[in-house]
Amino acid sequence: MCGICGCGQPHGHQGLDESAHAEEQESGHQRRLQVELDLFSQNNRYAQANRELFQRRNLLVLNLVSSPGSGKTALLTRTLQHQLDKVPLAVIEGDQQTSHDADRIRETGAEAVQLNTGRLCHLDAHMVGHAMEQLPHLENGLLYIENVGNLVCPAGFDLGEAAKVVVLSVTEGDDKPLKYPDMFHAARLMVLNKVDLLPYVNFDVEACIEYARRINPEIEVITLSAQTGEGMENWLEWIEHRRQGQTAARVAQLERELLVLKSQL
């Protein structure tokens, strides 16, 4: 049994140190303890273990977040069609119920793991750690995590990903960044999807980008249509640029290790 989570499944929890320090003050049999217990710390410990695993396996991991119906799965299937024969990849699908999304991903030929969260409104790092046990051979490539459709809760849960990508479709309204600021603050990139529908909806792209940058001055933006393929090249380039960067960092690290080992011969 897993000793930390008690979940009855074997898996690694390397580097999960207890970091809280306590000072005591005693009076009678009641005591006051000064502690530092971060409520996100348990999730963050799992997230750190995931991050180390992703680094060792040289995986670029993107956590896709959005409201339901923004087109995350459509964006993914289109993306996979471009990348499948070029780079190893897999998808972790999070939904409250059903395996519909994982089925859609598998139809492209890609490997997919479905996580059903039941009543939970978000994926957490622990669930993702277990999902990785089902992807033992995935390395030197890409892992997409499609989070539960929800623009609120997934913002606070680090999964160990390299970046959160928030997908917003133009049918949803351009003021979403102001209404759901936590998510846009947490995301590295905003993908504005369904731009082929712009002639039919009242959506101001420039205003939306301005709102997103009020929340997060550094957020990057790509506009595209997963349906027609318009703008897809920018998204694919964004991913490839990051994958190259991650691989270069991994190569540098392995070269340093190699030097150390050679010096010991």
Partner 1 sequence: MHELSLCRSLIELLQEQAEQHRFTRVKQLWLEVGPLAAVVPEAMQFAFEAASRGSLAEGARLHLVELPGEAHCQACGFETSISQWYQACPRCGEYQLKVLSGDELQIRELEVE
Binding residues for partner 1, per CB under 8 A? 18, 20, 22, 24, 29-43, 119-122, 124, 152-153, 155-157, 177-178, 181-182, 185, 211, 213-217
Query: Given the complex with partner 1, which of 88 and 154 has the nearer CB atom?
Result: 154
DSSP labels, 92-152: EEEESS-SHHHHHHHHTT-EEEEEE-TT-SS--HHHHHHHHTT-TT--SEEEEEE--S-SS
Residue 64 CB, nearest approach to partner 1 (Å): 18
- C-beta of residue 39 within 8 angstroms of C-beta of residue 158: no
Nearest distance in Å: CB 10, partner 1: 20
* Closest to 71 in 3D by CA, of 237, 238, 230: 230
227: three-class secondary structure by DSSP = coil
Nearer to partner 1 (CB atom), residue 148 or residue 195: 148
State in angstroms the smallest separation of the CB of 53 from partner 1: 21
Distance in angstroms (rounded) separating the CA atoms of residues 91 and 96:
16
Q: Which residue, 31 or 86, is less far from partner 1 as judged by CB?
A: 31
CB atoms within 10 A of CB 156: 14
CB of 164 to partner 1, least distance (A): 14
Q: Which is nearer to partner 1, 74 or 120 (CB)?
A: 120
Q: With respect to partner 1, which residue has the nearer C-beta, 57 or 122?
A: 122
Q: How far apart are CA 126 and CA 4, in angstroms?
A: 11
3-class DSSP assignment, residue 255: helix
CB closer to partner 1 out of 141 and 156: 156
Q: Least distance to partner 1 from the beta carbon of 127, Å?
A: 11
**What is the torsional sign of CA 58, 61, 40, 221?**
positive
User: C-beta of 218: minimal distance to partner 1 in Å?
Assistant: 9
